[in-house]
Amino acid sequence: MLMVDDMRQQFGKVAVLLGGDTAEREISLQTGQAVLEGLRSRGVDAHPLDPREVPLTTLLEQGFDRVFIALHGRGGEDGIMQGALEALHIPYTGSGVLGSALAMDKVRCKRLWQNLGIPTPAFIEIETETDLEAVAGTLGFPVMVKPVHEGSSCGAAKVTAAAQLQPAWDASHRFDTRVMAERWITGAEYTAAILGDRVLPMIRLETPREFYDYEAKYLVDDTLYHCPCGLPAERERELGEIMLQAFQGIDASGWGRVDFMLDEAGEPWVIEVNTIPGMTSHSLVPKAALQAGMDFGELVVRILATSLERDPLRREVRP
């Protein structure tokens, strides 16, 4: 672990990008504030910056050396912000443009996983009413209907009958012009936090709700987080290898989270990758890190250190 003086020398002046102008703004503000406090607790010269309030050129004008991205959703997590920071030659945390864009686009992400042989539930993109009619024959029921480009389960709904498809599609359309239906997996829900090339202890989620939705993630206190997750160590290691492959297979890097299910037969199904997971009081990555022996301050410093792994032009530094 770096000492305080070493951190100040290596990291310099750090901007924590938070807020933004998306459906996940409020969660991003909470994440950013937690990250800001964590970095400052370890002596990092960190400052908040909300791109909805000030232009990104402020980073240059105020002499920031690097950025901790704490933005969620489109405009912050989908490669747009990463591309802007590359244009400004400012190092940043987490995945680059390609990995961020693929993780946010659930359809292209799943197509890539299918090509790599990574198990992921069958799906179709719903573009017309004809596609709605095809859902029952192609996937059966139940299905999960959700926006292609959203996080935090915004606009997502479980559909158990054909009559529910149109309302679910309409609800998802309020968040995104592209909507998908995905075969529902009955079983236990897990998440694997990733830091560098390391898979942190897995968490098994247990919620009384239909699924781990927005309210279960951020608003209510009836979700149970089992960490250790209860799987045998060898099985957890095997699943960790699949989740790391799913993460790296879409060019994600630095840190993130892979959500997956184990069906009733114990087979894994990768659901999605989150390249900038939440860091609130309800969030999963800090819980996994704590189980691995890292408190919150150490976790955010290690995440910030991912910005040192590439040069200011965001070209990956090779040994």
Catalytic residue numbers, as ranges: 24, 152, 218, 257, 259, 272, 274, 278
Q: Which of 156, 163, 143 is nearest to 217 (CA)?
A: 156
Find tokens 């998306």 and name the residue: 22
The distance from CA 170 to its chain's CA centroid, rounded to whole angstroms, is 24
Residue 267 and residue 274: Cα distance in Å, rounded?
A: 21
DSSP 3-state of 272: strand
Instruction: Extract the tokens encoding 151.
Output: 């996080």
Tell me if 213 sits within 8 A of 273, measured CB to CB. no
Instruction: Extract the tokens encoding 156.
Output: 């997502």
Backbone torsions φ then ψ of 193, nearest 5 degrees: -80, 140
Q: Which of 157, 164, 182 is nearest to 106 (CA)?
A: 182
Instruction: Extract the tokens encoding 111.
Output: 């197509």
Q: Which of 316, 318, 317, 311 is nearest to 89 (CA)?
A: 311
One-letter amino acid of 305: A
Backbone torsions φ then ψ of 275, nearest 5 degrees: -85, -15
One-letter amino acid of 60: L
Contacts of 284 (CB under 8 A, 6+ apart): 191, 193, 203, 205, 225, 257, 277, 278
Please count the other Cβ atoms lying within 10 Å of the Cβ belonging to residue 215: 13
Instruction: Extract the tokens encoding 22.
Output: 């998306």
Read out DSSP for 84-104?
A: HHHHTT--BSS--HHHHHHHH
Instruction: Extract the tokens encoding 285.
Output: 């990555």
